[in-house]
Amino acid sequence: MIKPHGSEKLKPLYVEDDLRRQNLIKESESLPALLINSAAAANAVMLGAGYFTPLNGYMNITDSLTVAEKMHTASGLFWPIPCMNLAHDIDQIKGAKRIALKDPNITGNPVIAIQTVKAIETLSDVQLDRIAEKVFGSLSTDHPGVTTFRKLGKHVISGPIEVLSYSYFARDFPETFRTATEIRESIKNKGWNRVVAFQTRNPMHRAHEELCKMAMESIHADGVLIHMLLGKLKPGDIPAEVRDAAIRKMVELYFPPDTVMVTGYGFDMLYAGPREAVLHAVFRQNAGCTHFIVGRDHAGVGSFYGPFDAQKIFSSEVPEGALEIKIFNADHTAYSRKLNRVVMMCDVPDHTPEDFVMLSGTRVRDMLAAGQALPLEFARPEVAEILMRYYQQETAAKAE
């Protein structure tokens, strides 16, 4: 099986031993506590689940700046986006050697991890902007990732952590949330050697379905990992539970048996375009996948990135040998009226825009909210029905 990133074996930071975990929870009651933000909590979950192998905790300013500038830590580990614990107020933890990190996403704010504090530093405005600009490629307040990052705080709390909880993800998505360790074990048990991963924060329409099948056929994969983000999105995006139901229905009805794993991971969307695409590749290598689909405007938002910037970064900025996972570059896919099947646009240069069945996101939402069926060439009817119920409920709720 493919090796984890930067390590001979996976390094999940979740404390599996029940007795040790209970002792740490008891210890946390006497420690100075910090209510962390959702971004830091998501980082803790990913560290706990092994997706951030081989990191052992949150980065300091030096590593964060070096990662932002050069995509590697000060020690030389390739890494595309800083893993940080940022805070506004550190008065309650000044001088502490160990602190309890409290989960902002669960009522009562239980402890999600214990951190051994190596340093507490403060970012300057220049440093904060430099990280944002390098990671997101923009400082625009219209960019949701930039806006979120700038609100996290300037105090950088670095050091290793011991993870005590997977936050709400294991509770709310018991059938879908899986750690990198669990996915690797499933791949091994299935006897799969070549596995292609598909990242999604949206429901999957016909084009996405066929893209997975094209990739599987092209690389002769044994199976595909449909790996959905379960964390926080920007306003207007479809909730994880709706996406989960829609994707599972599509797989049940339209994929051959035992060729797909539908799973999810506990992370908030960054909308960092090319840099996030590289981070997504790290996740999937750590989960045991050999190939990863990178499509048009992968992890993008609005018009902040070029349509294929997320593919170009792997050839232009990722050093050779930095990752073992291979990238499957995909163009936009759509149903061809000429050929009566879904195609990659780059494969049909004789087509005009009118030859494709294309619907904007706004048009899709409006049709579903109005109870109008989507074209069969665009969406499977069973998937569209699940989405229609959601949008109609949303429309009714807004009208009340």
pLDDT at 398 over 80: no
User: Which of 121, 139, 167 corresponds to the end of one domain?
Assistant: 167
Shared-domain flag, residues 157 and 180: no
Q: What is the CATH number of the domain that holds 130?
A: 3.10.400.10
Shared-domain flag, residues 159 and 288: no
pLDDT at 362 over 90: no
Return the pLDDT at 16.
97
CA–CA separation, 320 and 288 (whole Å): 20
For residue 117, report the phi and psi dihedrals to the nearest 5 degrees. -80, 120
Say which residue the tokens 């030859």 belong to: 355
Residues with a catalytic annotation lie at 201-202
For residue 57, report the phi and psi dihedrals to the nearest 5 degrees. 165, -155
Shared-domain flag, residues 287 and 261: yes
Per the prediction, the chain carries an average pLDDT of: 94
pLDDT at 233 over 80: no
Q: Which of 2-6, 27-31, 205-209 bottoms out in mean pLDDT, i.e. has the lowest?
A: 205-209
Q: What is the CATH number of the domain that holds 280?
A: 3.40.50.620
Return the pLDDT at 130.
98
Provide mean pLDDT across the span 305-319.
Answer: 96
Pairing of strands 119-122, 111-116: unpaired
Question: Which residue segment(s) compose the domain that 106 sits in?
Answer: 18-167
Question: 145-203, pLDDT tens digit by residue?
Answer: 999 999 999 999 999 999 999 999 999 999 999 999 999 999 999 999 999 999 998 88
CA–CA separation, 115 and 73 (whole Å): 20
Pairing of strands 195-200, 291-294: parallel
Shared-domain flag, residues 137 and 229: no
Binned at pLDDT 50, 70 and 90, residue 138 comes out as very high
DSSP 255: S
Shared-domain flag, residues 187 and 307: yes
Binned at pLDDT 50, 70 and 90, residue 396 comes out as confident
Strands (E), the chain: 33-35, 57-58, 86-87, 98-102, 111-116, 119-122, 155-163, 195-200, 223-229, 260-265, 291-294, 326-329, 333-336, 341-344, 356-357
Shared-domain flag, residues 59 and 150: yes
374 in a structural domain: yes
Question: 112-131, pLDDT tens digit by residue?
Answer: 999 999 999 999 999 999 99
**Number of domains the chain is built from:** 2
Shared-domain flag, residues 181 and 276: yes
Return the pLDDT at 101.
98
Shared-domain flag, residues 290 and 151: no
316 in a structural domain: yes
Shared-domain flag, residues 91 and 210: no
CA–CA separation, 219 and 347 (whole Å): 17
Return the pLDDT at 134.
98
